[in-house]
Amino acid sequence: MKLLWRLGKEAIKYKTLYLIAIISTFVLTLINLAAPKILSSMTAIVEKGASKEASKQIFLLTVILIALYLLRILFRYLSNYLAHKAAWNLVEDLRVRVYEHIQEFSMNFFHDKQTGDLMSRVINDTATFELLYAHIIPEMVTNVVTVIGVMIILLTINVELALLTCIPIPLILFSGWVFATKIRPNFKVSQKALAELNAKLQDNFSGIHEIQAFGQEEYEQFQITEHAGHFTKAMLHALNLSAVFHPGVEFLSSAGTVIVVGIGGVLAFQGGLSVADIVAFLLYLSLFYTPISGLARLLEEVQQAYAGAERVMVILDTPTEIKNEKNAEELKDVKGSITFDSVDFSYEDNVSVLKDINFHCKPGQMIALVGPTGVGKTTLTQLISRFYDPANGRILIDGKDIKKVTLESLRSNIAPVLQDTFLFNGTIADNIGYANPTAGMDEIIAAAKAARIHDNIMDMPNQYETKVGERGMRLSGGQKQRIAIARAILRKAPIIILDEATASVDVETEREIQRAINDLAGTRTIVAIAHRLSTIQNADMILVLEEGKIVQCGTHNELINQDGLYRRLNLAQNKAAS
Ligand SMILES: Nc1ncnc2c1ncn2[C@@H]1O[C@H](COP(=O)(O)OP(=O)(O)OP(=O)(O)O)[C@@H](O)[C@H]1O
């Protein structure tokens, strides 16, 4: 009930459009009900025999009939188009709203979600509103008006015959129920098989490199053949059942016609029924049984639409965990100091990732996070941008608790270079400019120069207009990383986070990136994560993490002279290098 109320509320914006569509559907059904009556009246006139008066009446009825058919064109258009217009506009609104809402969820939300599932929420589940508003509701209006209208008309013509035509109704209702519950589910099996084929294809195209590299083409082809075969088998099974079923229903509807012709004929001989009435009966019966046989299907579609609408509402009702607090201020004129005050964090309850993290970094300083893999370095940097909130403690920027400032202003002051660089399927200029949509080409080029990628770009066929391909597939790992750095530089944010910015580059490029980072040092606060300790030797402060805690803190020279993890890591790397 609550959902019904909400469905109505969602559609309220298009109420005028929708009301006209429903009234048009109503009028259209009335026209459909009137036409057989006119045809039967014409038959009655013909039955009486030729006369001048009769010709006049036939002419008049013909004109009325043509006018009705013309009006039917108009009302069918209004009913069909306006209902669809309201419904698709509503779907568009919902798609944007659901996307907008999903976009605001914290990273926690995305961890256990599959892209396909989220896509389906935005595309398929919202489309059930179209099913509801453009098909189910208008069809219900048509069916109710038709069944009641036809029954009244039949009763006015002949009560006995009208009641006799109701005999097949229970059988038609039963067969509709059989179709909805026993036959249609077989089509769902085939849809599931198609979805599995789709998912397998998507997986294979994404992993085509691995398939070829490991010589698994034959195996994968076999898998695809299996999936394609499952679909065909399921589809043919459903079609077979359906092909047997429909003639059965047709037979039941025809039974009504046979009753009218048989019993009506006898009544006509007895003088209780005119030929015109029999014609009217036959014409109305063709309208009468269709809504009845479709009732079960309609009820099933209602359930389907209801389930889809529920899935949409679940998303819209899920609160965003990370959002602006009431009275959150703008974070303005940021100098760039960062403070962690007794910060604890865990992704899952009882699995602590960061424990009691405390440090203070002054504006323009470079701090480096080092430690074994999986110790929590990336997690720590993600807390600064509020991709997650700490379980305990506070994080301050320029002395302001980041929970008390707006998310937009916080993130606009931070430029990240993430571990896995994601590039959008556009040009190089688009991808660098993504950080700052107002930046001109000269600024984009300056950022690329600062990130030591400009010369590389100029050697490409279309230079800054070169397409990077899906996820930047046409670029090398090192090129992608430097484009990500250029993007971060263009952001002109006082805080830069570099998560393994030199992970996939050769020694020469690493030196160049190092120079680029050194140029930024002093003017921006830099938080850098590095496995190669050689890249962070100039850092003002190195935080060494072990088991989620800071176990050492100091400059390279200080730490190298202490007996601890940093010295051990350094020794291990020097040994590996020699
Ligand atoms: N979304 C997540 N859900 C649950 N646990 C996670 C999630 N992301 C990371 N972890 C866990 O948190 C811990 C810290 O991960 P994090 O990526 O911060 O480590 P890291 O020090 O940056 O590692 P690396 O040096 O390999 O990049 C790891 O044990 C990791 O398995």
Q: 389 — phi, psi (to 5°)? A: -105, 145
At 506 the pLDDT is 73
Q: How far apart are CA 47 and CA 273, in angstroms?
A: 13
Q: Which atom of ligand 1 is the closest one to the Cα of 371? A: 21
Instruction: Say how far apart CA 236 and CA 257 lie, in whole Å.
Output: 32
Instruction: Annotate 505-537 with DSSP letters as a single string.
Output: S-HHHHHHHHHHHHHHBTTBEEEEE-SSGGGGT
Instruction: Quick: pLDDT tens for 265-323.
Output: 787 777 777 878 888 888 888 888 888 877 777 877 888 788 888 888 888 888 888 88
Instruction: Give residue 472's pLDDT.
Output: 65
For residue 377 and ligand 1, the question of a CB distance below 6 A is answered with: yes
Which atom of ligand 1 sits closest to the CA of residue 108? Answer: 1
Q: Is 369 in the pocket of ligand 1 (CB under 6 A)?
A: no
**Cβ of 90 below 6 Å from ligand 1:** no
**What ligand 1 atom has the least distance to the C-alpha of 375?**
21
Q: What pLDDT does 332 receive?
A: 87
Contacts of residue 480, defined as CB under 8 A and 6 or more positions apart, other chains included, come to: 421, 423, 472, 504
Convert the pLDDT of each residue in 199-208 to its tens digit.
788 888 878 8
- 17-64 residue pLDDT tens: 999 999 999 999 999 999 888 888 888 888 777 788 888 888 998 999
Please, are residues 196 and 227 in contact by the beta-carbon 8 Å criterion?
A: yes
Rounded to 10 degrees, the C-alpha dihedral 524/529/535/541 comes to: 60
CB distance 378 to ligand 1 below 6 Å: yes
Task: Tell me the backbone φ, ψ of residue 414, rounded to 5 degrees.
Answer: -125, 130
* Tokens found for residue 268: 């006509």
Atom 9 of ligand 1, residue of closest alpha carbon: 379
Residue found by looking up tokens 């046989």 in the block: 293
Cα 374 to ligand 1 centroid, rounded to whole Å: 5
| pLDDT 10s digits, 70-96 | 999 999 999 999 999 999 999 999 999
- Give tens-digit pLDDT for 127-182: 888 988 999 999 999 999 999 999 999 899 888 888 888 888 888 888 878 877 88
pLDDT at res. 197 = 86
Q: What is the pLDDT of residue 1?
A: 67
SS3 15: helix
The answer to whether the CB of 431 falls within 8 A of the CB of 423 is yes
> Region 451-473: what's the mean pLDDT?
83
Q: Tell me the C-alpha distance between 528 and 539, whole Å.
A: 9
> Residue 213 is inside which H or E element, if any?
helix 208-213
The CA 428 to ligand 1 mean position distance, Å, reads: 30
* Cβ-contact 520, 456 below 8 angstroms: no
pLDDT-derived band of residue 210, with 50, 70 and 90 as boundaries? confident
Query: 496 C-alpha vs ligand 1 centroid, how far in Å?
Result: 20
Q: Would you place residue 417 in the very low, low, confident or very high pLDDT band (cuts 50, 70, 90)? A: confident
Whether ligand 1 lies within 6 angstroms of the CB of 347 is answered as yes
Buried b (16+ CB within 10 A) or exposed e, 124-152: ebbbbbbbbbbbbbbbbbbbebbbebbbe
Q: Which atom of ligand 1 is nearest to the CA of 380?
A: 18
Cα–Cα distance, 529 to 368 (Å, whole number): 6
Residue pair 91/65 in contact (Cβ under 8 Å)? The answer is no
Contact 144, 289 (CB under 8 A): no
Q: What percent of the chain has pLDDT over 90?
A: 31
Q: Which amino acid appears at position 403 of this protein?
A: K
Could you tell me if the CB of 373 is within 6 A of ligand 1? Answer: yes
Ligand 1 centre to CA of 573 (Å) is 22
Q: Which residue has the higher pLDDT, 468 or 562?
A: 562
CA of 108 from ligand 1 middle (Å) equals 13
Mean pLDDT, residues 434-444: 88
Query: For all residues of the chain together, what is the average pLDDT?
Result: 86
Residue 155 contacts by C-beta under 8 Å, 6 or more apart in sequence? 162
Task: Please name the amino acid found at residue 192.
Answer: K
Calculate how far, in angstroms, residue 436's C-alpha sits from the geometric centre of ligand 1: 29
Whole-number Å distance between alpha carbons of 315 and 524:
39
**Least confident among 227-241, 255-269, 356-370:** 255-269
